[in-house]
Structure 1
Amino acid sequence: MNRRKFITNTSLAMVGIGAGIDAAMAGGRQPLGSAKRVGIIGLDTSHSLAFAEGLNDPSSALSTSGYRVTAAYPYGSTIAISTSRIPGYIKDIQPYGVKIVESVSALLAEVDYVLLETNDGNPRLAQATEVIEAGKPVFIDKPIAASLADVRKIYALAEARRVPIFSASSLRYMDTIQDAINGKIGKILGADTYSPATFEPHHSDFFWYGIHGVESLVALMGVGCKEVTRTHTEGTDVVVGTWSDGRIGTFRGNRTGKHTYGGTAYGENGDLTLGPYKGYDSLLSEIIRFFDTGQSPVAAKETLEIYRFMAAADVSKSRGGAVVALSEVD
């Protein structure tokens, strides 16, 4: 997904790391001192910059939310595709007046809410543990972690500490997916979704990118997938899931050609083509609501099913496409 266009106003571009943004708060925005302080962990993904823009840029429709990104810890990733981005993203976030700090603990001392954005899922358990132990409500971007075991540990700790936690792909909030979920085509009888599914060797196969299409599928079908079977080739994966009520949903992961995100939802009153994807604002609106209420818009059970689905698909791949029950990965 391409990041949004960032502001290049000369006066804002002169603002350095840690500088205030009070002078840029024209148009009814709250002064920084009264804002609800949001911290970002991980400046190795365009999501971090998109969220900072959405909350801090005066031209953003969401800039009146009362939340401001005030600090960021850039590091955590260990894979080259992520670490190579950090210097540029540190520079890009400076116009928003975001203070760069040297540790997660330093960040937590300065903020009330956290966006955990580290692109690499491997340090997520350690990072999320520190945030949860500090009692800060946290949105965790995809993937929650690099393995199902770590995802479970994060959610178990959040439950034990009673700390609000929310994770979702922005694809869940495509207008057409939400239309289908909200009954536009009646009861959903099945769905096919697709997305890019590039692999990264330090993550379970679909956790890195295929999660977008898998989450779209589970969002539409709901919890209750009983078993999956996966057909794998070098450039494509197709996973067929059977739900406990007999409905079937499929995910197609593409690694060749130029592909985006989409699919079809099949309802009792007709079918609905999914797409197009329009960006991050819908997800950011849900994050703001989550911070406001302390309630995740996606139940933990549903989020965990997304990761169970992907883990079971990996087992199916290892068995040459055999049917694998999701209960096997519990």
Structure 2
Amino acid sequence: MKSLRIGLVDLDTSHPGSFVPLIRGLGHEVTGVFDSGTIYPPGYADTFAREHRIDAACESLEELVDRVDAVFIHSCNWDMHVRHAQPFVEAGKAVFIDKPIAGNVVDLRQMIDWAKQGAVITGGSALRYCNEVREWREREIGNEEWVYGLVGCAVDEFNYGIHAYAMLHGLLGPGIESVRYLGGTVQRQIELTWKDGRQGVVSIGKTDGYLPFYSTIVMQKQVDFIRVDNSRLYQALLETVLPYLAGEAPAPLPLEELAEAEMAAIAAKLSADLGGKSVRINEIPADYAGYDGTVFSKHYKALIFPQTS
């Protein structure tokens, strides 16, 4: 595989630090970082670069563009993803956007347009490509066997809840047509319907304790339960996307199909706003606000630095 010079944009979450050794282990190098200061104070990029043996802590996105072949964008404020991706797309650099890819349909459609115009761009949840989903799919159980599926996780409805949408999308494949909010008590339940009629439910939202990523899959002749091994998630993701970012493999999934998970989550929020009315993902109004990344990033910062909230 071609060895990539990889940059990291924003160091908000645990992902950048976790990805660095895995990226190196797969034959690539991290050559620069940039942090916009959403979560951490000035100077944190220098500290991160020093701790992870990265040559450059850049002062701007434009400086980082010149140092890399590909970039991983880890901003916890997903409303910044388009703005942060744009200079790399315009320079012809490969882009990975961490989950959630975006929180509104305008930003998602911008990224989809870039991909259709030839940009090398992908991203999203590691649950879409996790080993357990891939192994289940490789058993080649036909769609005619499908009865129902349930996928769930905890923590929150979008930043973490997107993992449940992505896992269900990985199990059933692309083709989500509509979404319907079913209600809930502790968590919210949302039903997703595929174009061929298959259906599944995600259960998401905060609980008193951490829940694993899980799925119960009901077929006509069997029931399967999947519990994801978190320790293998990032490796599986990077092994899937890096060949594409290096230009040596096709996209793991066209961005338009990959973004169905985020579209479904946005449609679920709209369905809840409408009292449980079914919403087609291709009919979400462009002016629907969706999920606010700025609000989430302030909440996230308060969790990391509670003494300053």
TM-score (norm 2): 0.81
For residue 167 of structure 1, give the secondary structure of its aligned residue in structure 2. strand
- d(CA) in 2 for partners of 1:194 and 1:86? 37
2:212 alignment partner in structure 1: 260
Q: Deviations over 1:231-287 (max 9, x none)?
A: 345731100122222211110003112212111223455332122233311111112
Match of 2:124 among 168, 173, 187: 168
**Offset of residue 323 of structure 1:** 2.0
Residue correspondence of structure 1 range 201-216 to structure 2 within 5 A: 206=158, 208-216=159-167
Instruction: Note if contact 2:187-2:206 (Cα within 8 Å) is conserved in structure 1.
Output: yes
Using the TM superposition, give the Cα deviation of residue 315 of structure 1 relative to its aligned residue in structure 2, in angstroms.
1.4
Aligned partners of 1:219, 1:239: CA distance in 2, in Å? 17
Of 250, 253, 269, which residue of structure 2 is paired with 1:314?
269
Superposed counterparts of 1:235-254, under 5 Å: 235-254=186-205
Q: Deviations over 1:11-64 (max 9, x none)?
A: xxxxxxxxxxxxxxxxxxxxxxx95311111111111111112123xxxxxx2x
In the alignment, which residue of structure 2 is the partner of 1:7?
Answer: none
Q: Mark the CA change 1:76 to 1:272 in structure 2 (over 3 Å): closer, same or farther.
A: farther
Change (3 A) 1:184 1:265: farther
1:185/1:271 contact within 8 Å kept: no
Runs of at least 4 residues off by over 4 Å: 85-90
Distance in 1 (CA, whole Å) between partners of 2:112 and 2:281 is: 18
Asked whether the 8 Å contact 1:185–1:268 carries over to 2, the reply is no
Q: How many Å separate the matches in 2 of 1:287 and 1:303?
A: 12
Deviation at 1:117, TM superposition (A): 1.3
1:101 and 2:58 aligned: yes
| Alignment partner, residue 16 of structure 1 | none
What's the counterpart of residue 294 of structure 2?
Answer: none
Residue type of the alignment partner of 1:179 = E
SS in 1 for 2:216: strand
Identity, in percent, stands at: 26
Are 2:35 and 1:74 equivalent residues in the alignment? yes
1:284 to 238, 246, 266: 238
Higher relative contact order (CA 8 A, sep 6+): 2
- Asked whether the 8 Å contact 2:130–2:237 carries over to 1, the reply is no
Offset from partner CA, 1:110-142 (integer Å, 9 cap, x none): 111111111210111111111100110111111
In the TM superposition, residue 93 of structure 1 has moved relative to its aligned partner by 4.4
CA deviations 1:70-105 (Å, max 9, x no partner) are 10001263xxxxx14886675344233212110100
Counterpart Cα distance in 2 of 1:175 and 1:147: 29
Task: Please give the residue correspondences for 1:178-217 in structure 2 after superposition, counting only pairs within 5 Å.
Answer: 178-183=134-139, 185-187=141-143, 189=146, 190-199=148-157, 206=158, 208-217=159-168
Size of the aligned set, in residue pairs, is 277
- Cα distance, 1:328–1:155 mapped onto 2, change above 3 Å: closer
Cα 1:84–1:96 shift into 2, 3 Å: closer
CA contact (8 A) 2:129 2:236 kept: yes
Partner of 1:119, secondary structure, is coil
- Residue matched to 1:36: 4
Q: Which moved more, 1:177-186 or 1:35-44?
A: 177-186
Unaligned 5+ runs, structure 1: 1-33, 57-62, 78-82, 200-205
Moved more, 124-133 or 178-187: 178-187
Counterparts of 2:190 and 2:173, CA distance in 1: 16
Contact 1:229 1:241 in 2 (8 A): yes
Call closer, same or farther: CA 1:291–1:243 in 2, change over 3 Å.
closer
Question: Does the CA-based 8 Å contact 1:231-1:321 persist in structure 2?
Answer: yes
Q: Specify the alignment match of 1:31 in structure 2.
A: none
Tell me whether 42-51 or 166-175 shows the greater mean CA deviation: 166-175
